[in-house]
Structure 1
């Protein structure tokens, strides 16, 4: 049972180094291809990262029989720059590559996630290699579906949160506008009531002034009549 666990750990370590070593083959293609973000790496990065992956496998060492795998063979060919990357497809964090070893006319189909090989298929049958590449490529679509949905949902959540914040700001503005409107309306009502009371007071003052004026005019008229009567009596003497 301990040997199986050790072998499984070694397989993981070998898989971790697979995609790093895969970068070497893309730079030694018969027909030069553009660099890819996962497979293509610089030579210095290869040396450093392969050393980092290989270090944990040194103790305890994997059994020689388990090292004799298709993944290990492909890694050795990549390290020796003896394979050419024919095509690679990416879906999210997953990818599938079709590689060709010209010396042996052998095709290798690899399925990987980020920097880790999951599966490697080896064949000399070009048609079979193409079919396996198509299958692996479809596998990347299936594996990445949930991840891509997560990315889209994150974007939708971010958009919804943005709209929520904008709506909250708009609501705050409307609430402030309504509060200001009510304040101004209350002020206008108070000013109108004050103006009405002032108008009533002025109207009362005006009425009293008119009454006083009429009384003064009546007194003036009485005095004028008295004066006229006195003048007539003086003339009669």
Structure 2
């Protein structure tokens, strides 16, 4: 029996089931024709009647039953994000199921006996998964980019704080060095003045030393004149010298 494509989630029509049942019942109730041989007339009664459990059911339910009983072989599967498409083969009946699913839940199921039709349906579903997943993939990529950008912002903010801390420290050190430089310059000027004064004193001391050394090295004996006694004064000295001078004349 050539099965037509059925959309996922839409079970077989109840009317079709009732029609099939009516046709089966009618065929079973038709009496054999007198002209028909006994063997020919008995042929319909030899056909196994269709049990209610074997009546056509919804394609989705049929697919689940076949999967649970391991009667399907996965030929192809395409994943795009949380969407996917699969081509399944029922070797027992040479049938194909083309499935479109989302988040591991069947969304659409189409059953066909034609391999070409199954391949075409599978390609269509695969293309649909690509277009359907584009929004999710874009959102996933943008979310990852946002998280990455936030991490980069945090890292760069830390780097900025570290650089600001380093710059503040460098500026403090620069001010400290500038103050030390100014103090050193002032101290240098003061030391320069002190050095000049000390050098002048040193020169004077050296000159005095050289004078004293020269006096010590002079072999001539020099007796300095006796200084007059401050008590007698210059008059007594004059009288003494006058009397001394007059003594020889008196002798004569």
Considering only CA atoms, is the larger Rg found in Structure 1 or Structure 2?
A: 2
Point out where structure 1 has 5 or more consecutive residues left out of the alignment.
1-10, 15-63
**Residues 120-131 of structure 1: matches in 2 within 5 Å?**
120-131=109-120
* 1:207 CA displacement: 3.6
* 1:90 CA displacement: 0.8
1:101 aligns with 2:90: yes
RMSD over equivalenced CA pairs, Å: 3.4
* 1:98 CA displacement: 0.8
> Structure 1 residues 220 and 126 mapped into 2: Cα distance closer, same or farther (>3 Å)?
closer
Task: Give the secondary-structure state (helix, strand or coil) at the position aligned to 2:161.
Answer: helix
User: Corresponding residue for 2:63?
Assistant: 74
Task: Give the secondary-structure state (helix, strand or coil) at the position aligned to 1:209.
Answer: helix
Structure 1 distance, partners of 2:205, 2:68, is 126
User: Corresponding residue for 1:6?
Assistant: none
Structure 2 distance, partners of 1:209, 1:102, is 119
1:69-104 superposed Cα distances (whole Å, 9 cap, x missing partner): 110111122222222221111111111111112222
Structure 2 distance, partners of 1:112, 1:105, is 23
1:85 aligns with 2:79: no
- TM-score, length basis structure 1: 0.60
Task: Give the secondary-structure state (helix, strand or coil) at the position aligned to 1:82.
Answer: coil
Higher mean C-alpha deviation, range 157-166 or range 97-106: 157-166
Structure 2 distance, partners of 1:179, 1:222, is 63
User: Corresponding residue for 2:183?
Assistant: 194
- TM-score, length basis structure 2: 0.57
> Structure 1 residues 233 and 150 mapped into 2: Cα distance closer, same or farther (>3 Å)?
same
User: Corresponding residue for 1:152?
Assistant: 141
**Residues 54-73 of structure 1: matches in 2 within 5 Å?**
68-73=57-62
**Runs of 4+ in structure 1 over 4 Å off:** 210-224, 231-234
The structure with the largest helix share of the pair is 1
